[in-house]
Structure 1
Amino acid sequence: MTRIRLTLAYDGTDFSGWQLQPHDRTVQGDLEKALGRILGHSPRVHGSGRTDSGVHAMGQVCHFDCPPERADIPWQRALNSMLPTDIRVLESARVPEMFHARYSATGKIYEYVLWHTREFCLPQRRRFVWACGSVDYSLMLAGADALLGEHDFAAFQNVGTPVKSTVRTVSDISFRTGLSEHETVWRFEANGFLKQMVRNIVGCLVACGRGRITPQEVRGLLKGRNRMAAPATAPPQGLSLASVLYSSEK
Protein backbone atom coordinates (compact mmCIF):
# COMPACT_ATOMS: atom_id res chain seq x y z
CA MET A 1 0.00 0.00 0.00
CA THR A 2 1.05 3.59 -0.62
CA ARG A 3 0.56 6.25 2.03
CA ILE A 4 -0.90 9.61 1.00
CA ARG A 5 -0.73 12.71 3.16
CA LEU A 6 -3.37 15.44 2.83
CA THR A 7 -3.51 18.97 4.22
CA LEU A 8 -7.06 20.20 4.74
CA ALA A 9 -8.95 23.40 5.42
CA TYR A 10 -12.53 23.35 6.65
CA ASP A 11 -15.26 25.50 8.09
CA GLY A 12 -16.23 23.53 11.18
CA THR A 13 -19.57 25.27 11.76
CA ASP A 14 -21.77 22.50 10.40
CA PHE A 15 -19.65 19.55 11.56
CA SER A 16 -19.82 17.59 14.80
CA GLY A 17 -16.04 17.75 14.91
CA TRP A 18 -13.37 15.77 13.10
CA GLN A 19 -13.93 12.26 14.43
CA LEU A 20 -16.43 9.79 12.98
CA GLN A 21 -19.82 9.80 14.70
CA PRO A 22 -22.53 7.18 14.02
CA HIS A 23 -25.33 9.66 13.31
CA ASP A 24 -23.67 13.06 12.88
CA ARG A 25 -21.78 14.74 10.10
CA THR A 26 -18.00 14.89 10.64
CA VAL A 27 -14.96 15.94 8.62
CA GLN A 28 -13.43 12.46 8.78
CA GLY A 29 -16.74 10.94 7.69
CA ASP A 30 -17.15 13.21 4.66
CA LEU A 31 -13.54 12.65 3.63
CA GLU A 32 -13.79 8.87 3.85
CA LYS A 33 -17.01 8.93 1.80
CA ALA A 34 -15.31 10.97 -0.93
CA LEU A 35 -12.35 8.58 -0.97
CA GLY A 36 -14.77 5.68 -1.22
CA ARG A 37 -16.31 7.15 -4.36
CA ILE A 38 -12.86 7.40 -5.95
CA LEU A 39 -11.34 4.10 -4.79
CA GLY A 40 -14.42 1.89 -4.60
CA HIS A 41 -13.86 1.39 -0.88
CA SER A 42 -13.50 3.81 2.03
CA PRO A 43 -10.01 3.67 3.57
CA ARG A 44 -9.58 4.76 7.16
CA VAL A 45 -8.29 8.32 7.36
CA HIS A 46 -6.00 9.16 10.29
CA GLY A 47 -5.91 12.78 11.41
CA SER A 48 -3.26 14.67 13.34
CA GLY A 49 -5.84 15.10 16.08
CA ARG A 50 -9.48 15.80 16.73
CA THR A 51 -11.12 19.18 16.36
CA ASP A 52 -14.33 19.74 18.31
CA SER A 53 -17.74 20.62 16.96
CA GLY A 54 -17.67 24.12 15.48
CA VAL A 55 -13.86 24.37 15.37
CA HIS A 56 -12.19 25.19 12.04
CA ALA A 57 -8.91 24.26 10.35
CA MET A 58 -6.53 25.87 7.91
CA GLY A 59 -3.88 23.18 8.18
CA GLN A 60 -5.27 19.88 9.43
CA VAL A 61 -3.06 16.99 8.33
CA CYS A 62 -4.24 13.44 7.75
CA HIS A 63 -3.16 10.32 5.88
CA PHE A 64 -4.65 7.22 4.28
CA ASP A 65 -3.33 4.17 2.43
CA CYS A 66 -4.26 3.23 -1.10
CA PRO A 67 -3.18 0.54 -3.62
CA PRO A 68 0.07 1.49 -5.40
CA GLU A 69 -1.62 1.46 -8.80
CA ARG A 70 -3.99 4.25 -7.61
CA ALA A 71 -1.36 6.39 -5.91
CA ASP A 72 -0.88 8.70 -8.91
CA ILE A 73 -4.44 9.99 -8.80
CA PRO A 74 -4.37 13.82 -8.61
CA TRP A 75 -5.79 13.71 -5.10
CA GLN A 76 -6.27 17.40 -4.53
CA ARG A 77 -8.34 17.91 -7.66
CA ALA A 78 -10.17 14.59 -7.41
CA LEU A 79 -11.20 15.01 -3.78
CA ASN A 80 -12.16 18.67 -4.12
CA SER A 81 -14.55 17.67 -6.92
CA MET A 82 -16.22 15.20 -4.55
CA LEU A 83 -16.13 17.00 -1.21
CA PRO A 84 -18.71 19.52 0.03
CA THR A 85 -17.66 23.15 -0.25
CA ASP A 86 -16.87 23.52 3.47
CA ILE A 87 -13.90 21.11 3.13
CA ARG A 88 -10.98 21.63 0.77
CA VAL A 89 -7.76 19.71 0.18
CA LEU A 90 -4.88 22.20 0.08
CA GLU A 91 -2.04 19.76 -0.63
CA SER A 92 -1.46 16.07 -1.26
CA ALA A 93 1.75 14.07 -1.35
CA ARG A 94 3.14 10.55 -1.12
CA VAL A 95 4.89 9.92 2.17
CA PRO A 96 6.89 7.00 3.63
CA GLU A 97 4.93 4.23 5.32
CA MET A 98 6.38 5.20 8.70
CA PHE A 99 4.76 8.64 8.50
CA HIS A 100 1.74 9.05 10.77
CA ALA A 101 -0.29 12.25 10.79
CA ARG A 102 -0.71 12.08 14.57
CA TYR A 103 2.29 10.24 15.96
CA SER A 104 4.89 11.88 13.71
CA ALA A 105 3.77 15.38 14.71
CA THR A 106 6.12 17.38 16.93
CA GLY A 107 3.76 20.25 17.64
CA LYS A 108 0.75 22.27 16.55
CA ILE A 109 -0.21 25.87 16.04
CA TYR A 110 -3.74 27.05 16.78
CA GLU A 111 -5.23 30.50 16.24
CA TYR A 112 -8.16 32.04 18.07
CA VAL A 113 -9.92 35.19 16.83
CA LEU A 114 -11.48 37.68 19.24
CA TRP A 115 -13.91 40.44 18.25
CA HIS A 116 -13.60 43.45 20.55
CA THR A 117 -16.72 45.55 20.19
CA ARG A 118 -20.15 44.60 21.52
CA GLU A 119 -21.86 47.22 19.34
CA PHE A 120 -21.92 44.83 16.38
CA CYS A 121 -20.21 41.87 14.79
CA LEU A 122 -19.89 41.70 11.03
CA PRO A 123 -22.21 38.98 9.71
CA GLN A 124 -19.34 37.68 7.58
CA ARG A 125 -17.22 37.12 10.74
CA ARG A 126 -19.75 35.81 13.26
CA ARG A 127 -19.00 32.14 12.47
CA PHE A 128 -15.27 32.65 13.05
CA VAL A 129 -14.89 34.94 16.08
CA TRP A 130 -15.79 35.25 19.74
CA ALA A 131 -17.38 38.68 20.28
CA CYS A 132 -15.88 39.06 23.75
CA GLY A 133 -15.86 42.86 23.89
CA SER A 134 -13.05 45.13 24.98
CA VAL A 135 -10.05 43.74 26.88
CA ASP A 136 -6.70 44.97 28.14
CA TYR A 137 -4.11 43.31 25.89
CA SER A 138 -1.26 43.98 28.32
CA LEU A 139 -3.07 42.06 31.06
CA MET A 140 -3.77 39.20 28.65
CA LEU A 141 -0.08 39.01 27.67
CA ALA A 142 0.95 39.09 31.33
CA GLY A 143 -1.36 36.16 31.96
CA ALA A 144 0.07 34.40 28.89
CA ASP A 145 3.60 34.73 30.27
CA ALA A 146 2.60 32.47 33.16
CA LEU A 147 1.66 29.74 30.69
CA LEU A 148 4.83 29.72 28.59
CA GLY A 149 7.22 26.83 29.02
CA GLU A 150 6.68 23.32 30.38
CA HIS A 151 3.81 23.00 32.86
CA ASP A 152 1.15 20.60 34.01
CA PHE A 153 -1.96 21.92 32.23
CA ALA A 154 -4.50 19.76 34.10
CA ALA A 155 -6.42 22.94 35.03
CA PHE A 156 -6.87 23.66 31.32
CA GLN A 157 -8.09 20.24 30.20
CA ASN A 158 -11.77 19.43 29.89
CA VAL A 159 -13.07 15.92 30.49
CA GLY A 160 -12.57 13.72 27.43
CA THR A 161 -9.76 11.76 25.85
CA PRO A 162 -7.58 9.98 28.44
CA VAL A 163 -3.91 10.94 28.32
CA LYS A 164 -0.82 9.54 30.02
CA SER A 165 0.38 12.99 31.07
CA THR A 166 -1.10 16.48 31.24
CA VAL A 167 2.36 18.10 30.96
CA ARG A 168 2.85 20.16 27.81
CA THR A 169 5.34 22.76 26.61
CA VAL A 170 3.87 26.01 25.24
CA SER A 171 6.48 27.86 23.17
CA ASP A 172 4.48 30.87 21.96
CA ILE A 173 1.40 32.90 22.83
CA SER A 174 1.15 36.11 20.82
CA PHE A 175 -1.38 38.19 18.89
CA ARG A 176 -1.76 40.34 15.82
CA THR A 177 -4.51 42.47 14.29
CA GLY A 178 -7.07 40.46 12.33
CA LEU A 179 -9.08 41.13 9.19
CA SER A 180 -10.89 43.99 10.90
CA GLU A 181 -9.68 46.70 13.28
CA HIS A 182 -12.04 45.10 15.82
CA GLU A 183 -10.27 41.72 15.69
CA THR A 184 -7.19 40.22 17.25
CA VAL A 185 -5.81 36.83 16.26
CA TRP A 186 -4.15 34.95 19.10
CA ARG A 187 -1.50 32.36 18.22
CA PHE A 188 -0.72 29.32 20.38
CA GLU A 189 2.18 26.96 19.65
CA ALA A 190 2.98 23.90 21.74
CA ASN A 191 4.37 20.40 21.46
CA GLY A 192 0.83 19.17 22.03
CA PHE A 193 -2.54 20.26 23.39
CA LEU A 194 -5.01 18.64 25.77
CA LYS A 195 -8.74 18.44 25.09
CA GLN A 196 -10.06 22.01 24.66
CA MET A 197 -6.82 23.36 26.14
CA VAL A 198 -6.61 26.33 23.76
CA ARG A 199 -10.22 27.32 24.37
CA ASN A 200 -9.66 27.09 28.11
CA ILE A 201 -6.52 29.22 27.88
CA VAL A 202 -8.40 31.81 25.81
CA GLY A 203 -11.22 31.89 28.36
CA CYS A 204 -8.64 32.47 31.07
CA LEU A 205 -6.77 35.18 29.17
CA VAL A 206 -9.99 37.05 28.35
CA ALA A 207 -10.85 36.94 32.06
CA CYS A 208 -7.43 38.52 32.68
CA GLY A 209 -8.10 41.14 30.02
CA ARG A 210 -11.40 42.01 31.69
CA GLY A 211 -9.72 42.34 35.08
CA ARG A 212 -11.62 39.42 36.58
CA ILE A 213 -8.47 37.48 37.49
CA THR A 214 -4.86 38.57 37.81
CA PRO A 215 -1.82 37.17 35.98
CA GLN A 216 -0.60 35.88 39.33
CA GLU A 217 -3.84 33.95 39.75
CA VAL A 218 -3.12 32.26 36.40
CA ARG A 219 0.05 30.85 37.95
CA GLY A 220 -2.03 29.65 40.87
CA LEU A 221 -4.42 27.85 38.52
CA LEU A 222 -1.51 25.94 36.98
CA LYS A 223 -0.22 24.90 40.38
CA GLY A 224 -3.70 23.97 41.64
CA ARG A 225 -4.40 21.65 38.67
CA ASN A 226 -8.16 22.10 39.27
CA ARG A 227 -10.25 22.68 36.15
CA MET A 228 -13.26 23.70 38.26
CA ALA A 229 -11.30 26.68 39.65
CA ALA A 230 -10.49 28.10 36.20
CA PRO A 231 -12.61 30.49 34.07
CA ALA A 232 -15.15 29.15 31.59
CA THR A 233 -14.18 27.62 28.23
CA ALA A 234 -14.18 30.01 25.26
CA PRO A 235 -16.71 29.16 22.52
CA PRO A 236 -15.56 26.97 19.60
CA GLN A 237 -16.17 29.22 16.61
CA GLY A 238 -13.14 31.45 17.18
CA LEU A 239 -10.69 28.55 17.07
CA SER A 240 -8.82 27.19 14.06
CA LEU A 241 -6.07 24.59 13.71
CA ALA A 242 -3.51 26.64 11.77
CA SER A 243 -0.80 24.05 11.14
CA VAL A 244 0.74 20.79 12.31
CA LEU A 245 4.51 20.65 12.80
CA TYR A 246 6.77 17.77 11.79
CA SER A 247 10.48 17.43 12.50
CA SER A 248 11.40 17.02 8.82
CA GLU A 249 9.89 20.44 8.10
CA LYS A 250 11.77 22.42 10.72
Structure 2
Amino acid sequence: MKRIKLTLAYDGTNFCGWQLQPRLRTVQGVLEKAIIRVTGTPVRVHGSGRTDSGVHALGQVAHFDVDESFAAVNWQRALNSLLPDDVTVLNVELVSSEFHSRYSAIRKTYTYTLWLENSFFLPWRRHYVWKCGPLDFSALDQGMQLFLGEHDFSSFQNTGTVIKSTIRTIHDFKRYPGQTEQEMILEVCGSGFLKQMVRNMVGCLVRIGRGKAEPETVRSLLQIKDRTMAPATAPAQGLCMAGVYYGETGCGGTDTGRNQAQNSGIDG
Protein backbone atom coordinates (compact mmCIF):
# COMPACT_ATOMS: atom_id res chain seq x y z
CA MET A 1 0.00 0.00 0.00
CA LYS A 2 1.10 3.56 -0.72
CA ARG A 3 0.14 6.66 1.27
CA ILE A 4 -1.02 9.80 -0.52
CA LYS A 5 -0.97 13.21 1.17
CA LEU A 6 -3.41 15.87 -0.06
CA THR A 7 -3.53 19.60 0.61
CA LEU A 8 -7.07 20.89 0.15
CA ALA A 9 -9.01 24.12 -0.11
CA TYR A 10 -12.76 24.32 0.26
CA ASP A 11 -15.64 26.70 0.73
CA GLY A 12 -17.41 25.30 3.78
CA THR A 13 -20.70 27.14 3.21
CA ASN A 14 -22.61 24.16 1.83
CA PHE A 15 -20.80 21.45 3.79
CA CYS A 16 -21.88 20.00 7.13
CA GLY A 17 -18.25 20.13 8.22
CA TRP A 18 -15.33 17.86 7.42
CA GLN A 19 -16.29 14.65 9.19
CA LEU A 20 -18.29 11.92 7.47
CA GLN A 21 -21.93 11.89 8.61
CA PRO A 22 -24.80 9.71 7.39
CA ARG A 23 -27.03 11.43 4.80
CA LEU A 24 -25.19 14.74 5.17
CA ARG A 25 -22.83 16.44 2.72
CA THR A 26 -19.33 16.61 4.19
CA VAL A 27 -15.87 17.30 2.77
CA GLN A 28 -14.60 13.87 3.81
CA GLY A 29 -17.65 12.29 2.21
CA VAL A 30 -17.32 13.90 -1.23
CA LEU A 31 -13.57 13.28 -1.22
CA GLU A 32 -13.96 9.58 -0.46
CA LYS A 33 -16.61 9.24 -3.19
CA ALA A 34 -14.23 10.82 -5.71
CA ILE A 35 -11.36 8.50 -4.73
CA ILE A 36 -13.60 5.42 -4.99
CA ARG A 37 -14.43 6.39 -8.56
CA VAL A 38 -10.71 6.05 -9.31
CA THR A 39 -9.87 2.94 -7.27
CA GLY A 40 -13.17 1.09 -7.52
CA THR A 41 -12.92 0.14 -3.85
CA PRO A 42 -13.73 1.99 -0.58
CA VAL A 43 -10.94 4.20 0.75
CA ARG A 44 -10.87 5.98 4.10
CA VAL A 45 -9.52 9.55 4.11
CA HIS A 46 -7.97 10.92 7.31
CA GLY A 47 -7.96 14.70 7.87
CA SER A 48 -5.63 16.82 9.99
CA GLY A 49 -8.62 18.34 11.76
CA ARG A 50 -12.41 18.40 11.78
CA THR A 51 -13.66 21.75 10.56
CA ASP A 52 -17.25 22.55 11.54
CA SER A 53 -20.20 23.28 9.29
CA GLY A 54 -19.61 26.58 7.47
CA VAL A 55 -15.86 26.71 8.19
CA HIS A 56 -13.50 27.08 5.22
CA ALA A 57 -10.00 25.83 4.41
CA LEU A 58 -7.01 27.03 2.42
CA GLY A 59 -4.62 24.42 3.79
CA GLN A 60 -6.47 21.38 5.11
CA VAL A 61 -4.25 18.28 4.94
CA ALA A 62 -5.50 14.73 4.53
CA HIS A 63 -4.09 11.32 3.62
CA PHE A 64 -5.30 7.97 2.33
CA ASP A 65 -3.79 4.61 1.40
CA VAL A 66 -4.12 2.93 -1.98
CA ASP A 67 -2.75 -0.16 -3.66
CA GLU A 68 0.68 0.36 -5.17
CA SER A 69 -0.86 0.09 -8.63
CA PHE A 70 -2.57 3.47 -8.06
CA ALA A 71 0.55 5.28 -6.82
CA ALA A 72 1.36 6.68 -10.27
CA VAL A 73 -2.10 8.18 -10.78
CA ASN A 74 -2.12 11.96 -11.28
CA TRP A 75 -4.29 12.35 -8.20
CA GLN A 76 -4.57 16.13 -8.36
CA ARG A 77 -5.92 16.08 -11.89
CA ALA A 78 -8.09 13.02 -11.29
CA LEU A 79 -9.72 14.28 -8.11
CA ASN A 80 -10.21 17.85 -9.31
CA SER A 81 -12.07 16.49 -12.33
CA LEU A 82 -14.42 14.56 -10.03
CA LEU A 83 -14.86 16.86 -7.03
CA PRO A 84 -17.60 19.53 -6.78
CA ASP A 85 -16.62 23.12 -7.42
CA ASP A 86 -16.50 24.08 -3.73
CA VAL A 87 -13.52 21.83 -2.93
CA THR A 88 -10.20 21.43 -4.73
CA VAL A 89 -6.89 19.61 -4.34
CA LEU A 90 -4.01 22.10 -4.16
CA ASN A 91 -1.15 19.64 -3.87
CA VAL A 92 -0.44 15.89 -3.79
CA GLU A 93 2.56 14.06 -2.33
CA LEU A 94 3.57 10.43 -1.97
CA VAL A 95 4.62 10.07 1.68
CA SER A 96 5.94 7.48 4.10
CA SER A 97 3.49 5.08 5.75
CA GLU A 98 4.61 6.64 9.06
CA PHE A 99 3.08 9.99 8.10
CA HIS A 100 -0.33 10.79 9.57
CA SER A 101 -2.15 13.98 8.61
CA ARG A 102 -3.41 14.48 12.16
CA TYR A 103 -0.88 12.87 14.50
CA SER A 104 2.23 14.01 12.61
CA ALA A 105 1.17 17.67 12.67
CA ILE A 106 3.44 19.98 14.67
CA ARG A 107 1.52 23.23 14.36
CA LYS A 108 -1.62 24.61 12.74
CA THR A 109 -2.65 28.07 11.61
CA TYR A 110 -6.18 29.44 11.42
CA THR A 111 -7.44 32.79 10.21
CA TYR A 112 -10.63 34.56 11.17
CA THR A 113 -12.03 37.45 9.12
CA LEU A 114 -13.96 40.34 10.69
CA TRP A 115 -16.13 42.96 8.96
CA LEU A 116 -15.54 46.29 10.74
CA GLU A 117 -18.06 48.58 9.01
CA ASN A 118 -21.54 49.24 10.41
CA SER A 119 -22.98 51.50 7.72
CA PHE A 120 -22.98 48.92 4.90
CA PHE A 121 -22.13 45.32 4.11
CA LEU A 122 -21.11 43.63 0.85
CA PRO A 123 -23.59 40.76 0.37
CA TRP A 124 -21.11 38.48 -1.41
CA ARG A 125 -18.85 38.51 1.69
CA ARG A 126 -21.59 37.22 4.01
CA HIS A 127 -20.33 33.61 3.96
CA TYR A 128 -16.73 34.54 4.81
CA VAL A 129 -16.78 37.23 7.51
CA TRP A 130 -18.32 38.08 10.86
CA LYS A 131 -20.03 41.47 10.71
CA CYS A 132 -18.90 42.69 14.13
CA GLY A 133 -18.52 46.45 13.57
CA PRO A 134 -15.73 48.83 14.68
CA LEU A 135 -13.19 47.58 17.22
CA ASP A 136 -10.55 49.11 19.46
CA PHE A 137 -7.38 47.74 17.88
CA SER A 138 -5.18 48.61 20.86
CA ALA A 139 -7.37 46.63 23.26
CA LEU A 140 -7.62 43.81 20.72
CA ASP A 141 -3.83 43.60 20.41
CA GLN A 142 -3.41 43.49 24.18
CA GLY A 143 -5.90 40.65 24.43
CA MET A 144 -4.21 38.70 21.64
CA GLN A 145 -0.84 38.89 23.36
CA LEU A 146 -2.24 37.34 26.54
CA PHE A 147 -3.11 34.17 24.62
CA LEU A 148 0.53 33.56 23.71
CA GLY A 149 2.38 30.70 25.39
CA GLU A 150 1.28 27.46 27.00
CA HIS A 151 -2.04 27.54 28.86
CA ASP A 152 -4.97 25.41 29.90
CA PHE A 153 -7.66 26.46 27.41
CA SER A 154 -10.62 24.86 29.23
CA SER A 155 -12.47 28.19 29.18
CA PHE A 156 -12.22 28.24 25.38
CA GLN A 157 -13.29 24.68 24.60
CA ASN A 158 -16.83 23.73 23.65
CA THR A 159 -18.13 20.33 24.67
CA GLY A 160 -18.40 17.35 22.35
CA THR A 161 -14.92 15.84 22.07
CA VAL A 162 -13.11 13.57 24.52
CA ILE A 163 -9.45 14.60 24.86
CA LYS A 164 -6.55 13.78 27.17
CA SER A 165 -5.47 17.36 27.88
CA THR A 166 -6.79 20.89 27.43
CA ILE A 167 -3.28 22.38 27.50
CA ARG A 168 -2.17 23.97 24.25
CA THR A 169 0.54 26.40 23.13
CA ILE A 170 -0.14 29.52 21.06
CA HIS A 171 3.01 30.51 19.17
CA ASP A 172 1.79 33.55 17.29
CA PHE A 173 -1.31 35.74 17.17
CA LYS A 174 -1.49 38.72 14.82
CA ARG A 175 -3.84 40.76 12.66
CA TYR A 176 -3.56 42.19 9.17
CA PRO A 177 -5.80 43.73 6.46
CA GLY A 178 -8.38 41.58 4.70
CA GLN A 179 -9.65 41.37 1.15
CA THR A 180 -11.51 44.69 1.36
CA GLU A 181 -10.87 47.91 3.28
CA GLN A 182 -13.67 47.00 5.69
CA GLU A 183 -12.11 43.69 6.73
CA MET A 184 -9.45 42.57 9.17
CA ILE A 185 -7.95 39.09 9.52
CA LEU A 186 -6.83 37.56 12.80
CA GLU A 187 -4.23 34.82 12.36
CA VAL A 188 -3.34 32.38 15.13
CA CYS A 189 -0.71 29.65 15.07
CA GLY A 190 -0.60 26.97 17.75
CA SER A 191 0.49 23.47 18.66
CA GLY A 192 -3.13 22.40 18.27
CA PHE A 193 -6.65 23.59 19.02
CA LEU A 194 -9.55 22.32 21.09
CA LYS A 195 -13.12 22.08 19.78
CA GLN A 196 -14.13 25.56 18.50
CA MET A 197 -11.22 27.07 20.45
CA VAL A 198 -10.30 29.62 17.78
CA ARG A 199 -13.90 30.80 17.45
CA ASN A 200 -14.12 31.13 21.23
CA MET A 201 -10.91 33.15 21.40
CA VAL A 202 -12.18 35.42 18.64
CA GLY A 203 -15.51 35.82 20.44
CA CYS A 204 -13.63 36.97 23.52
CA LEU A 205 -11.39 39.35 21.53
CA VAL A 206 -14.34 40.97 19.77
CA ARG A 207 -16.00 41.58 23.11
CA ILE A 208 -12.78 43.24 24.26
CA GLY A 209 -12.54 45.25 21.04
CA ARG A 210 -16.09 46.50 21.54
CA GLY A 211 -15.16 47.79 25.00
CA LYS A 212 -17.45 45.32 26.79
CA ALA A 213 -14.53 43.59 28.52
CA GLU A 214 -10.95 44.44 29.47
CA PRO A 215 -7.93 42.76 27.83
CA GLU A 216 -7.14 41.21 31.23
CA THR A 217 -10.31 39.17 30.77
CA VAL A 218 -8.19 36.76 28.71
CA ARG A 219 -5.82 36.14 31.61
CA SER A 220 -8.72 35.69 34.02
CA LEU A 221 -10.50 33.16 31.82
CA LEU A 222 -7.33 31.15 31.31
CA GLN A 223 -6.96 30.94 35.09
CA ILE A 224 -10.63 30.18 35.82
CA LYS A 225 -10.80 27.22 33.39
CA ASP A 226 -14.59 27.52 33.10
CA ARG A 227 -16.26 27.75 29.68
CA THR A 228 -19.51 29.08 31.17
CA MET A 229 -17.70 32.26 32.22
CA ALA A 230 -16.41 33.08 28.71
CA PRO A 231 -18.10 35.08 25.91
CA ALA A 232 -20.16 33.44 23.18
CA THR A 233 -18.58 31.51 20.29
CA ALA A 234 -17.87 33.53 17.13
CA PRO A 235 -19.83 32.47 13.99
CA ALA A 236 -18.42 29.65 11.87
CA GLN A 237 -18.27 31.44 8.52
CA GLY A 238 -15.41 33.75 9.52
CA LEU A 239 -13.04 30.85 10.25
CA CYS A 240 -10.56 29.29 7.84
CA MET A 241 -7.99 26.52 8.35
CA ALA A 242 -5.01 28.22 6.74
CA GLY A 243 -2.22 25.67 7.11
CA VAL A 244 -0.89 22.55 8.82
CA TYR A 245 2.84 22.11 9.39
CA TYR A 246 4.94 18.99 9.84
CA GLY A 247 8.45 18.78 11.28
CA GLU A 248 8.91 22.56 11.34
CA THR A 249 10.19 24.68 14.22
CA GLY A 250 8.20 27.79 13.37
CA CYS A 251 4.82 28.80 12.01
CA GLY A 252 6.33 28.78 8.52
CA GLY A 253 4.00 29.13 5.59
CA THR A 254 1.75 31.76 7.11
CA ASP A 255 2.91 34.39 4.63
CA THR A 256 1.66 32.17 1.82
CA GLY A 257 -1.59 31.64 3.68
CA ARG A 258 -1.90 35.37 4.20
CA ASN A 259 -1.44 36.09 0.50
CA GLN A 260 -3.99 33.43 -0.38
CA ALA A 261 -6.41 34.81 2.19
CA GLN A 262 -6.18 38.33 0.86
CA ASN A 263 -6.72 37.25 -2.73
CA SER A 264 -9.22 34.43 -2.31
CA GLY A 265 -12.97 34.37 -2.14
CA ILE A 266 -12.77 31.96 0.80
CA ASP A 267 -10.40 33.85 3.07
CA GLY A 268 -12.70 33.61 6.07
TM-score between the two structures when normalised by the length of structure 2: 0.92
After TM superposition, the runs of 4+ consecutive aligned structure 1 residues lying more than 2 A away are none
Give distance in 2, aligned partners of 1:162 and 1:44: 22
> Which segments of 5 or more consecutive residues in structure 2 lack a partner in the other structure?
251-268
| Residue 31 (structure 1) aligned with residue 31 (structure 2) | yes
Equivalent residue for 1:141? 141
Give distance in 2, aligned partners of 1:45 and 1:248: 24
CA-CA distance at 1:66 after TM superposition: 0.5
Letter in 2 for 1:2: K
Letter in 2 for 1:188: V
CA-CA distance at 1:249 after TM superposition: 8.4
Distance 1:145 1:249, change over 3 A: closer
Equivalent residue for 2:243? 243
Give distance in 1, aligned partners of 2:187 and 2:55: 15
Give distance in 1, aligned partners of 2:26 and 2:76: 19
Q: Deviations over 1:110-156 (max 9, x none)?
A: 00000001222212211100010000011011111111100000000
Give distance in 2, aligned partners of 1:105 and 1:178: 27
Equivalent residue for 2:57? 57
Alignment of 1:80-99 (within 5 A): 80-99=80-99
| Residue 190 (structure 1) aligned with residue 225 (structure 2) | no
Give distance in 2, aligned partners of 1:216 and 1:67: 54
The answer as to whether partners of 2:115 and 2:133 remain within 8 angstroms in 1 is yes
Give distance in 2, aligned partners of 1:202 and 1:248: 26
Equivalent residue for 1:114? 114
How many residues align? The count is 250
Give distance in 1, aligned partners of 2:42 and 2:10: 20
Letter in 2 for 1:76: Q
Q: CA RMSD in A?
A: 1.0
| Residue 2 (structure 1) aligned with residue 2 (structure 2) | yes
Equivalent residue for 2:165? 165
| Residue 234 (structure 1) aligned with residue 240 (structure 2) | no
Q: Which moved more, 1:215-224 or 1:51-60?
A: 215-224
CA-CA distance at 1:98 after TM superposition: 0.2
Q: Deviations over 1:200-237 (max 9, x none)?
A: 00000000000111011221111001101100000000
Give distance in 1, aligned partners of 2:41 and 2:122: 42
Equivalent residue for 1:45? 45
The answer as to whether partners of 2:106 and 2:248 remain within 8 angstroms in 1 is no
Letter in 1 for 2:216: Q
Distance 1:155 1:249, change over 3 A: closer
Equivalent residue for 2:264? none
CA-CA distance at 1:248 after TM superposition: 5.5
Give distance in 1, aligned partners of 2:174 and 2:106: 20
| Residue 150 (structure 1) aligned with residue 167 (structure 2) | no
Q: Secondary structure at the match of 1:124?
A: helix
> Which segments of 5 or more consecutive residues in structure 1 lack a partner in the other structure?
none
Equivalent residue for 1:208? 208
TM-score between the two structures when normalised by the length of structure 1: 0.98
Give distance in 2, aligned partners of 1:42 and 1:14: 24
CA-CA distance at 1:31 after TM superposition: 0.1
